[in-house]
A and B are shown apart, each in its own frame.
Chain A
Amino acid sequence: MTWVNTIAQGILVGGLYAMFAAGLSLIFGVMKLVNIAHGDLIVLAAYVAVVVTDTLGLNPIFSLVFVVPIMAAVGYLLQRGLLNRTLGDDILPPLLVTFGLSVILQNGLLELFSADSRRLQAGALEVASIKLADGLTLGVLPLIQFGLAVLVIAGLHWLFYHTRLGRAFRAVSDDPRVAQLMGLDNRHVFGLAMALSLAIVAVAGVFLAVRTNFDPSTGPARLIFGFEAVIIGGLSSLWGTLLGGILLGVVQAIGAEIDPGWQVLAGHIAFLVVLAIRPQGLLARAR
């Protein structure tokens, strides 16, 4: 029964990883940009949530009302002010600029909030749980987080294939020049894509902050988890990122059950194995 419980907990954590991955995958899909600062932006969102809950005395879950629009605005401005200038045929500028941004964010957060690790308290919700069987208990908070992750993926899927904005995203992704000729303002569309990516980052950041301790240096590990979920699931598939996140969560949970030192390592090894035997990912669309 402990193994069933371990796997169930792993699946629920996987929802969080899928949210890390969805924002990363969205940006890559729309503008072929790999955002190295993605993990640090998740941690930034967690700190924004800390400030919001501290000043307004809200439950962290309700702080989402503020954190999501704040991060979306940060995303839009970041894209229009900085990242749009890096886009082009050369892969170096976006990579190095987001890498520089990552170092700036980490050290900026360190200046503002010190290296002490923080955590958000969600009150009674934090310990509430549902007992399904002996030895199998699911926390209410992880369940909410997993449900939100599924909603985010489903919402993105709907947005991509059933809305004007989604059509614009697909158009600039397929051919930015032609999209521009058809009257789309690419710079604005890219800005909206980054805003959406950071809105998802905001949700992920708040749940990260409630779930575990975090400090300014924890961003890169979140980037790597999100990246692994994207590659395991399949580069161009939204539902693949959910599957990838879940698999990563389960493998990490099993690794931790064997030896706590193996938690993260087991996830990395699963990623490398998938890369070695099925580099296109598990749910890749045929090209």
Chain B
Amino acid sequence: MTVRVTRATRTSSVGIALVAVALIALIAAPYWAGREGMRLLIEVFVYLVLASNWNLLAGYAGLVSVGQQAFVGLGGYVLFALATLGGVPPLLCIPLAGVAAAVVAIPVAAITFRLRGAYFAIGSWVVAEVFRLVASQISILGGGSGTSLPAFIVTGMAHSRQAREFLVYWVALGLTVVILGLIVALLRSRHGLALTAMRDNEVAARSNGIDVQRTKLLVFIFTAACTAMAGSLIFLQRLRITPDSAFSVNDWTALVIFITVIGGIGRFEGPFVGIVVFFVLRETLSDLGSIYLMILGAIAILVMLKAPRGLWGFLAERTDAQVLPLQRRVRGLLR
């Protein structure tokens, strides 16, 4: 009897084909989507990156952070600081922001990892507040009222406005594909197996020889870097930054958590489903203002209580579907 471990299934083969078609359409988006369409797509990409990273952090590594806005804001501020004070080309600032966040994440983890579970959540929030308050003390970057990216830096990026918008769009798409690709590669690697084991049962994972603390630390550093790169992209598109917008718990954490929970926490496909629900609701209900956020919060509570694995989890458990070949299946044991 031979035992094989396979990942691919029929749905995942169809899934890969669909992903490839979607990717080609997205690469060509500047030629069919228009200026507003591109702006919306960049926002979708950014939220997809933020939600996928939060999903990795909370859904797999069990680190339920409500302070990831610390790294979004850090990424934005590193971009503005390097571009305006250091004269670094803005696009080069994006990977540098990732490196900076990875370095900053180490001492942050050293302190906040002393807190367990829900206390870690609020501890990470305190760190984000410290970052916000420190940013508003930096007078050379505008202090509490923030600063704008000087025009010569913006115009220096490309020869025309259209060329610049195309460039920022493709950089956003490229960054999203690279980050999501890294997450897929991580989940398919042996570290991914360790993460999945930790997601399902931390004690059992530890007893099987997984260094849970070390894996958590690596995931924390990885997601900090990715979150910061998404942050620098957000503020490169906005061209203006303030401490309140950069370190907003509502924009960069509450919405991200709702997207992940509604879509399905602890599954790679979850944030994608959540993104669709989020943007459909937002584009149809945004006139309602704050009532819209109440509806989103209520849906998230309802999903958490009635379908804790989210819409995708609800579907996948009943149909055994997966879009990307991530789950490991042992074949040849029983049948």
Query: Are A and B bound to each other?
Result: yes
Whether a CB of chain A sits under 8 angstroms from the CB of B117 is: yes
Contact with A along B114-129 (1 / 0, CB 8 A): 1101110111011101
Minimal beta-carbon separation of A69 from chain B (angstroms)? 26
Whether a CB of chain B sits under 8 angstroms from the CB of A94 is: yes
Minimal beta-carbon separation of B267 from chain A (angstroms)? 14
The reply to whether A220 and B300 form a contact with Cβ atoms under 8 Å apart is: no
Q: Report B-chain residues with C-beta under 8 Å of the C-beta of A91.
A: 64, 117-118
Choice from A94, A96, A265 contacting B130 with Cβ under 8 Å = A265
Q: In the docked arrangement, what's the CA distance between A275 and B123, Å?
A: 9
Q: In the docked arrangement, what's the CA distance between A279 and B64, Å?
A: 19
Whether a CB of chain A sits under 8 angstroms from the CB of B321 is: no
From B163-171, B276-284, B289-297, the one touching the partner chain is B289-297
The reply to whether A99 and B66 form a contact with Cβ atoms under 8 Å apart is: yes
Asked, given contacts A223-B122, A227-B122, A271-B126, whether A97 binds B137 with beta carbons under 8 Å apart, the answer is no
Whether a CB of chain A sits under 8 angstroms from the CB of B305 is: yes
Q: In the docked arrangement, what's the CA distance between A90 and B201, Å?
A: 10
Asked, given contacts A96-B257, A104-B297, A265-B133, whether A228 binds B126 with beta carbons under 8 Å apart, the answer is yes
Minimal beta-carbon separation of B247 from chain A (angstroms)? 12
Minimal beta-carbon separation of B293 from chain A (angstroms)? 5
Whether a CB of chain B sits under 8 angstroms from the CB of A166 is: no
Secondary structure type dominating chain A contacts: helix
Asked, given contacts A92-B265, A261-B133, whether A224 binds B122 with beta carbons under 8 Å apart, the answer is yes
Whether a CB of chain B sits under 8 angstroms from the CB of A34 is: yes
Q: Report B-chain residues with C-beta under 8 Å of the C-beta of A210.
A: none
The reply to whether B118 and A93 form a contact with Cβ atoms under 8 Å apart is: no
Q: Which of A96, A264, A276 has the most CB of B within 10 A?
A: A96
The reply to whether B304 and A268 form a contact with Cβ atoms under 8 Å apart is: no
Minimal beta-carbon separation of A90 from chain B (angstroms)? 8
Q: Report B-chain residues with C-beta under 8 Å of the C-beta of A228.
A: 126
Q: Report A-chain residues with C-beta under 8 Å of the C-beta of B254.
A: 99, 103
Q: Report B-chain residues with C-beta under 8 Å of the C-beta of A97.
A: 301, 304-305
The reply to whether B129 and A224 form a contact with Cβ atoms under 8 Å apart is: yes
- For window 277-335 of B, CB contacts with A under 8 Å fall at 290-291, 293-294, 296-298, 300-301, 304-305, 308
Minimal beta-carbon separation of A152 from chain B (angstroms)? 22
Whether a CB of chain A sits under 8 angstroms from the CB of B249 is: yes
The reply to whether B136 and A261 form a contact with Cβ atoms under 8 Å apart is: yes
The reply to whether B126 and A107 form a contact with Cβ atoms under 8 Å apart is: no
Choice from B121, B265, B293, B305 contacting A85 with Cβ under 8 Å = B305
Contact with A along B224-236 (1 / 0, CB 8 A): 0000000000000
The reply to whether A95 and B121 form a contact with Cβ atoms under 8 Å apart is: yes
Whether a CB of chain B sits under 8 angstroms from the CB of A134 is: no
The reply to whether B290 and A107 form a contact with Cβ atoms under 8 Å apart is: yes
The reply to whether B265 and A268 form a contact with Cβ atoms under 8 Å apart is: no
Whether a CB of chain B sits under 8 angstroms from the CB of A51 is: no
Q: Beyond the given A82-B301, A95-B117, A111-B290, could you list 6 further A-B residue pairs with CB under 8 A, ordered by the A residue number?
A: A93-B304, A97-B301, A99-B257, A103-B294, A220-B249, A275-B111
Considering the complex of A and B, which 3 residue pairs feature the smallest CB-CB distances, nearest first? A34-B118, A107-B290, A103-B297
A residues adjacent to B (C-beta < 8 A): 33-34, 36, 82, 85-86, 90-97, 99-101, 103-104, 107-108, 110-111, 220, 223-224, 227-228, 231, 261, 264-265, 268-269, 271-272, 275-276, 279
